[in-house]
Structure 1
Amino acid sequence: MKKASLAAEVPNGKIRAFETFRNIILPILTTLILIAFSVSSYSTSNSLLQSFTFSSNNASTSMGIERRCDIFKGNWVPYPEGPYYTNKSKCVIEDRQNCMKFGRPDSEFMKWRWQPDECDLPMFDAGRFLEVVRGKTLAFVGDSVARNQMQSLVCLLASVADPVDVSYVTNTKFRRWLYKDYNFTIQALWSPHLVKSRDVDPNGTSANSLMSLYLDEPDSAWADHVQEADIVIISAAQWFFRPFLYHKRGRLIGCHKCTQTNTTKLTNFFGYRMAFRTAFKTLSRIAKPRGLVILRTFSPSHFENGDWDKGGNCVRTKPFVKSEVKVEGYVLEMYLIQIQEFRAAQRRRGTVKLRLLDTTEAMILRPDGHPNHYGHWAYQNITVADCVHWCLPGPVDTWNQLLLQILKTEEDELKHLLNHN
């Protein structure tokens, strides 16, 4: 951001006073303002933390200062043209997100676009995206919602290029796609807890079985592979509501929803915070120098009329407006934990760049975007509604619109630095 030169405008008789102001008072005022801003960043009173801005193409300028726009703050507006692709496009959509395949009767959920409050969000440009990531590897680290975003991206790019499956294992939770013409690779690294975990129940994992989390040890499922990635998008959410035994330095320190006696009872929020703390510390140590690590924030579910295992569903067919819902309760708590650990990682100033893909405020408004009963799980359990994942095509495609803007901004900043060195 350009700063106007003030020295030339100061009358000669006031130069000394101005220099005193500039050299002593102004730095103090600047420090106080920055402290106040840092404190207010954690305020939950009015709105979510505003975390990323980019230059709007049609932004007005005043005295050489460019107007900036928060692309994560806005509303959903009708978009009759519909989605970028269909469920018949040449891309892989898991059955549980393939809402139209299994008879969802309405299509309006695909006909909304995200409109930031103070600028326009450019439409997704598949060709531009592939040029920005040419020669790079992009890794999605997290649970099945992270894979949901990866599948959305592959479908969005299908209008320009067809990838080759270069997965090194048959487990589709670890899918790898190579775009040969661009030497660009997308990979999914499934790690729902981000840290090392182990089944405690001898019968294996079930919806509410007890698991051990080793909060200071990263999950090797991603930690052993992330070094090759130029861009890492990290996220985690819904798996942190189950019963846990928490371990640090190889010993039990507490538990969540457990029946063990003489064990400190801790919340799921504790485990969530420690998992992200370990993940960020690990990434700062092993990720590529000058690589880009992006936190995709909490993706809220929208169960109504009961919990997921008690008949809950998500039958709405249009977005909320802001006056109808706000980020609060456990969603706000999970979101703030992510933000606080992200900011702490920024302060540690590692060799990687940290950026936010702040989707929480936008997605709390989209109860209509989930499969509900119009997606089939691998074991064909259609009695349980899915109000966690997102239909493809659907509102999750907006995440990749926002991702493109982040990547373009990084590219522009790099060009600016090169041009001035």
Structure 2
Amino acid sequence: MDSLKNFSESRAHYYFTILFTLILIFFFFSASNDTSPVVSYTTSLPPSHPHPNNLSPFSSQVLSGASLASKVHNNFDSCDIFDGQWVVDEGSSPVYEPGSCPFIDDAFNCFKNGRPDSDYLRLKWKPHGCEIPRFDGVKMMKMLSGKRMVFVGDSLNRNMWESLVCALRESLVDKKNVFEDFNCSIDFIRSPFLVQEWKFSDKAGTRRETLRLDMMEGSYNKYHDADIIVFNTGHWWTHQKTFKGKYYFQEGNHVYSKLEVADAYKKALKTWAKWVDANVNSSRTQVFFRGYSASHFKGGQWNSGGSCDGETKPITNETQLSPYPWMMRALESVLSKMKTRVVYLNITKMTDYRKDGHPSIFRQSASERMNGIIQDCSHWCLPGVPDTWNQLLYAILSRKKFNG
């Protein structure tokens, strides 16, 4: 749960953004011939995740205000890269070795915190009907040369951001110069709701927290002109405070006495969509929205004894997956009405299989665990599942239409 009180997101502002400023060496370009398999996509719908109005959750569907069918890129029509299975891949190693990357928060660093098993690192995502290229850090850096990429959202996006930073660092010959050798930047900006957290005074004069559903969170001017933006929001909308919904949501001067979280979430997404349509130059900036990442608490939630420790194998039976999250239905509805081209990274189903990939008790060191354990069954160990999200992001960016 994003609201784990001792979790690393509370430290997000101190290294709020990591900037790569890197000058690409020209000889890299001599090795730029791409022999990776062609990645293509369909609008096929996984049977376990039905969607209303025939809205497909496929990977890189570009959604906008016209009918969805007319917005599908036709040359991505043979494979849905987010519909597949996890398979054992004994012959390959993680994109970066466990314990090797200094940019991973301790709470994601399961190796450092003593996780003894490693089978969760030997799984790769295989879409049905196609292959996806293995992540190539050098080629990714070429694509990002002279560009700024920003991850905006909650600590699940921080998970993804750290994964990408570590994967790119691994591709460097001289890793000591990671801050000096490239002319691109990759930033994380914390904005767990995307809309603005607020305060108002009730009739008794007491200051109360609210969430302004009609106002973008104020950091938007730090990233509106980036070349690539990856948004997400989701887990904080399951927090107890927002779930109750009493006197918490606000629009203008109106504070709702009661508003269902699903309605509030959709209002917030509409505010985000309106802002993107009005403020993002789609001829320069490619917008991504990453879908909901599955949690696997059993026996309670993060603050009530929920656990996932001892899970070392993924789910293999699709019928055991959770129902498709209501938040993603709301997101898809909003995306379908936008004018801006938005690439929808629907990682929900692929993460639902991975009950084995969370830090669980290994979000803390052994000495810290002696003082009490709160398990983390929402975020992901690094190396781990978010590396695959970045592999898919890389595959999409590798396509000519996203690389120029």
Asked whether the two chains share a fold, i.e. TM above 0.5, the reply is yes
Call closer, same or farther: CA 1:199–1:363 in 2, change over 3 Å: farther
Q: Distance in 2 between matches of 1:232 and 1:159?
A: 23
Counterpart of 1:52, as a letter, is S
Kindly name which structure, 1 or 2, has the bigger radius of gyration based on alpha carbons.
Answer: 1
Of 77, 80, 83, the match for 2:87: 77
The offset of 1:278, in angstroms, is 1.0
Structure 2 runs not aligned, ≥5 long: 1-44, 63-74, 243-247
The offset of 1:368, in angstroms, is 0.5
Counterpart of 1:272, as a letter, is Y
The offset of 1:339, in angstroms, is 1.2
The offset of 1:270, in angstroms, is 1.5
Call closer, same or farther: CA 1:369–1:219 in 2, change over 3 Å: same
Q: Distance in 2 between matches of 1:67 and 1:300?
A: 26
Call closer, same or farther: CA 1:67–1:267 in 2, change over 3 Å: closer
Task: Please give the per-residue CA displacement for 1:373-417, whole angstroms capped at 9, x wherever unaligned.
Answer: 10129x9775110001100001111000000111112x34677xx
| 1:168-247 equivalence runs, <5 A | 180-198=180-198, 211-221=209-219, 223-242=220-239, 243-244=241-242, 245-247=248-250
Q: Distance in 2 between matches of 1:108 and 1:324?
A: 23
Q: Distance in 2 between matches of 1:210 and 1:235?
A: 26
Secondary structure of the corresponding residue to residue 383 of structure 2 = coil
Would you say the 8 A contact 1:193–1:239 is kept in 2? yes
Task: Establish whether residue 282 from structure 1 lines up as the match of residue 267 from structure 2.
Answer: no
| 1:44-55 equivalence runs, <5 A | 49-52=57-60
Residue of structure 2 in register with 1:19 after alignment:
none
Call closer, same or farther: CA 1:53–1:118 in 2, change over 3 Å: farther
Would you say the 8 A contact 2:287–2:342 is kept in 1? yes
Residue of structure 2 in register with 1:394 after alignment:
384
Secondary structure of the corresponding residue to residue 368 of structure 1 = coil
Counterpart of 2:187, as a letter, is Q
Q: Distance in 2 between matches of 1:109 and 1:70?
A: 23
Q: Distance in 1 between matches of 2:250 and 2:191?
A: 18
Which 4+ stretches in 1 moved above 6 angstroms? 45-48, 162-165
Of 301, 304, 308, the match for 1:310: 304
Identity over aligned pairs, percent: 31
Q: Distance in 2 between matches of 1:248 and 1:46?
A: 31
Task: Please give the per-residue CA displacement for 1:150-184, whole angstroms capped at 9, x wherever unaligned.
Answer: 0000111112237899xxxxxxxxxxxx8654411
Q: Distance in 2 between matches of 1:234 and 1:53?
A: 15
Residue of structure 2 in register with 1:340 after alignment:
333
Would you say the 8 A contact 1:95–1:375 is kept in 2? yes
**TM-score scaled to structure 2, two decimals?**
0.74
Of 146, 158, 180, the match for 1:135: 146
Structure 1 runs not aligned, ≥5 long: 1-36, 55-64, 166-177, 203-208, 255-262, 416-421
Counterpart of 1:94, as a letter, is D
Would you say the 8 A contact 1:144–1:190 is kept in 2? yes
